[in-house]
Amino acid sequence: LLYFLLLLDVNSTKSVVASRNQMCWENLQQSLRLTRLVNTETKTLFKEYKTYQGEAFQEGFCKAQGIRIPDPTISGLETSERIASIYTHIQAFLPHLKRVQEQQTDLQPPESPLLKKFTIVEDNSRRLAYCIENFYHSSFPNLSLPEPASGPTTLPPPQNVFQQKVYGCAVLKTYKKLLTNIINEQRTLKSRLRRPMDPIYGI
């Protein structure tokens, strides 16, 4: 009887682990697809943004000197730390994206397609942050997501029109780099978690 109960317990544990790993795999797949989508949308937005700033505007201007824009580098040694870093980086960029859209609302006509593209990128970026959060919790149910180490996001002070254009370009260019880094990170995770039955903690 004891052997039978132990066997049931082992089989039950295996079922729970397999179910959790399946969820991790599905969440990873979903987050990778969504990251690719946001990356494509951001590339298009970045290209059109430069066009809408006028003929004299060049990508070489896209350096936000004296303005703190989040670093696009993903940090951490452990898998949990790197996933958390992805999440906090996306969250840190959301206020900057919103500020740039607000500035462009003042500079562009209401019917400008550029403003609609900003809304799409913002909305899908929020969805991506939520998706990464789900992946983190399904992979590490006993851990909580840490607060950003850098504290509240620092937005730029009042700017003139040219400074706004430069700031917006720098934000989109850096965010584009972040999304590329996230895709590379997700591909690495996917290669280590080869199939749903592989343990997430073996990553």
DSSP E strand stretches across 68-139:
none
The per-residue pLDDT for 132 is 94
The per-residue pLDDT for 86 is 96
Q: Residue 89: CB partners within 8 Å, gap ≥ 6?
A: 70, 71, 72, 74, 178, 182
Residue-wise pLDDT for 55-75, tens only, equals 778 777 787 666 788 899 999
Q: Residue 131: CB partners within 8 Å, gap ≥ 6?
A: 27, 30, 31, 34
User: Residue type at 54?
Assistant: G
Query: What span, in angstroms and rounded, lies between the C-alpha atoms of 186 and 75?
Result: 14
The per-residue pLDDT for 159 is 83
Q: Collect the ranges in the chain with pLDDT lower than 50.
A: 3-18, 196-203
The per-residue pLDDT for 124 is 97
The per-residue pLDDT for 190 is 83
Do residues 129 and 91 lie in contact, with contact meaning Cβ atoms separated by under 8 Å?
A: yes
The per-residue pLDDT for 198 is 45
The per-residue pLDDT for 10 is 42
Residue-wise pLDDT for 7-29, tens only, equals 444 444 444 444 556 667 788 88
Q: Residue 85: CB partners within 8 Å, gap ≥ 6?
A: 74, 75, 76
Evaluate if pTM is beyond 0.75: yes
Do residues 95 and 120 lie in contact, with contact meaning Cβ atoms separated by under 8 Å?
A: no
- The owner of tokens 């995770």 is 189
The per-residue pLDDT for 8 is 46
